[in-house]
Amino acid sequence: MPSHIPHTDRPDLKADCANCFGLCCVALPFARSADFAADKPAGTPCGNLRDDFRCGIHTRLRESGYTGCTVFDCLGAGQKVSQVTFGGRDWRAEPDTARTMFAVFPVVRQLHELLRYAAEALDLPAARPVHPELSRLHDRIDALSRGGADELSALDVGALRAEVNVLLLRAGELARAEVPGRRRDHRGADLMGARLRGARLRGASLRGAYLIAADLTGADLRRADFIGADLRDADLSGADLTGALFLTQAQLNAARGDGATRIPDALTRPAHWTARPGRAARR
């Protein structure tokens, strides 16, 4: 897949459940909690997984106590493992493939996460100084993600992540440098439950920040860097996320917002967000 294609037009980085063998519903574990209504060990099919590999409660996951499922995004790893790595052989028809398939899926999911971030950085004009090196690394990871099961199992994803992170950090810094004035650095900060209503965080670094249940109502988050930020239950009502860097759909799905929240054009307003009476939804 050529690295010059805009990340918003990359079907290989978007989940295609119709071509996946329900891998996220089997390979990954979850525990009974506010996010999941039941316990499920890794490698065991979720009780809601149907024979056709579709979710039986997909349209009512939140109401059924499976909020955690609504904030997970395989970023296209499911269909790649199903159709490329294993050539369309499913774990039900060929049980001998199950263990390896379930082990490989999280590896490819991590590789696709790196590809998604790298692809977005390659779309940033301000990050041109790092584009050549980032493009080479992107294409190397893309090739690795298409390797065989044994190759994928032996990959040191941590080392690849470290290489990519250096370039992504630089790309984010270059993009944020275009924002005038002071740019706050909250990288890795514990901002759980923080009162940040109306905060001026334009161009801020929120990489890896814990923003769980933070009040970001009406905050200016334009051009802020969100790589790895935890936005679970954060209130983004009326906030402006225009041009936010490395913000993902999964992060938005985990947060709360309303019709006045401004989000990047490439992302979709979550269905569970409330509409603010008397105001039209804005992008």
- pLDDT, tens digit, for every residue of 92-129? 999 999 999 999 999 999 999 999 999 999 999 999 99
Q: Classify 238 as helix, strand or coil.
A: coil
Mean pLDDT of the chain: 93
- pLDDT above 70 covers a percentage of the chain that reads 95
- Give strand pairing partners of 274: 258
Domains of the chain: 7-28+72-176 (no CATH), 181-283 (2.160.20.80)
Q: In which residue are the tokens 């071509």 written?
A: 19
Query: Which residues lie below 8 Å from residue 184, measured CB to CB, with a gap of 6+?
Result: 201, 203, 204, 205
Q: Is 41 left (phi over 0), alpha (psi -120 to 50) or beta?
A: beta
Q: Taking the CB of residue 206, how many other CB atoms lie within 10 A of it?
A: 28
CA 260 to chain centre: 23
- pLDDT, tens digit, for every residue of 182-227? 899 999 999 999 999 999 999 999 999 999 999 999 999 999 999 9
Q: DSSP string spanning 181-217?
A: S---B-TT-B-TT-B-TT-B-TT-B-TT-B-TT-B-T
What is the value of pTM for the model shown?
A: 0.91
